[in-house]
Structure 1
């Protein structure tokens, strides 16, 4: 088991080497945060001062905090595992004395741990300067929010792992990854709060794991979900995480049985 904490550290160190990319990402997140805050505040103002329980200050804070969590949660899918399947390097992962899924999960947690500060803090600081932030005053929302954020990262990893494993059956996965990214951008609450969706779309979103990735951590951080409701949200995240991890293990097992790598 000592290998997995080491992989968390390795994931942290790996991503800490991309300093220029991290700085560029922080700038991009901050700029888009300003744009999104302006759009959401304008929407609230045009609606008479409140939309689905959000006033202007809460809407702006939602915009900044979602941008802060965007990189750690990794809403947008990558194709790292899919590329290893396509090249046959996945055979090396299967031969290692660690579980491939748990090893990838540990590495992703290390990635998220690194990106949390350099990619997360600048949008929040800029938001505090430009619009102000409507944040809770007590410590409990932040403690529960950190737990929700870790679970959000994990649920996101488990979903992205499933998307990547389709490479065992598909020659090209870019279409699947693009579709996943578009759906995740909407249903996670990245674009607008899930509470602003029409009733049918909100029901559809909550029938998927996507709100557990971003909307749930943001709601808990902002104190919009508190007490027993916050614990219920964490339970939902745990349920989705367990379901996705089990599905990922089954899909990997089936894919590994049909894997053919040149040379054996």
Structure 2
């Protein structure tokens, strides 16, 4: 446990040095959030209610999504593990007396902590100042939202780890990111709330792993009954299931790779 705490602290320290980039990220998220919000406001002017969402719900989800963008790294960057696999430097990782997945998870959680405190919170506060957002009035819902955010982080890491670990076979994972980088935000409900899709399509997309990163946390925050199972518990259970499944698959693929794949490069 001490090793993981040290790796977590190192990740937190590493990303805390990029203060100018953090400020620029808050500005960028806030601007793009405002643009997206105004587009949705124009849409809801023509149609005040769509599948249980009104204009306030939609704008709130916009800023929940913008707040989650940096911690989840849904559009990148990839884990440094990808490059280490390509160059062969991952051999050093395999010599450490801790699992590769655990090491990278601890380091990434350090990054997530910094991004959440210094990028997510300011972005959401700016959104609340610019627009009327639907904020929970119940402290319990705030706690459940934080639980949902934490599960979203695990799902996001699980996907990014899988995108990286396939490099043991592909050697270069840039093609994976070229596909999933643009597709992920759409499937997650980051660019457009999934509830605005046709009902059948939205119901299917809401069950996929990407929705567990944005759509479900947003619906937990809003207290919607469109969550899987019709309740917050159903939504959190789905997120937890995807987190366990993705991390388990990542650990299994790592085990297979270290037995069968010859490391290329450095």
TM range (shorter): over 0.9
Q: Distance in 2 between matches of 1:249 and 1:119?
A: 30
- Unaligned 5+ segments in structure 1 are none
Structure 2, unmatched stretches of 5+, are none
Are the counterparts in 2 of residues 77 and 180 from structure 1 also a CA contact under 8 Å?
A: no
Give distance in 1, aligned partners of 2:247 and 2:118: 29
Q: Distance in 1 between matches of 2:201 and 2:222?
A: 23
**Aligned partner of residue 78 in structure 1, secondary structure:** coil
Match of 1:242 in 2: 244
Structure 1, 124-133 or 15-24: larger mean CA deviation: 124-133
What corresponds to 2:57 in structure 1? 58
* Alpha-carbon distance in structure 2 between the residues aligned to 1:115 and 1:152: 14
Q: Distance in 2 between matches of 1:152 and 1:138?
A: 21
* 1:196 to partner: Cα distance: 1.3
C-alpha distance 44-66 of structure 1, shift in aligned 2 (>3 A): same
Shift of 1:84: 0.5
Write the deviation string for residues 160-191 of structure 1: whole angstroms up to 9, x where unpaired. Answer: 10111111111432121121112211111101
TM superposition score normalised by structure 2: 0.92
Cα deviation, residue 2, structure 1: 2.0
User: How far apart, in 1, do the equivalents of 2:264 and 2:67 lie?
Assistant: 43
> TM-score, normalising length from structure 1?
0.93
Provide the rounded CA distance (Å) in 2 between the counterparts of 1:108 and 1:57.
Answer: 33
Q: Identify if the C-alpha distance between structure 1 residues 137 and 170 changes in structure 2 by more than 3 Å, giving closer, same or farther.
A: same
Q: CA deviation digits over 1:199-236, x for unaligned, max 9? A: 44324423421111111111112222599811111111
Q: How does 1:65-214 map to 2 (within 5 A)?
A: 65-79=64-78, 80-214=80-214
Structure 1 distance, partners of 2:57, 2:176, is 34
How far apart, CA to CA, are the structure 2 residues paired with 1:151 and 1:44?
31
What secondary structure is seen at the aligned counterpart in 1 of 2:155? helix
| Match in the other structure for 1:260 | 262
Asked if structure 2 preserves the Cα contact closer than 8 Å seen for 1:166 and 1:173, the reply is: yes
Moved more, 221-230 or 22-31: 221-230
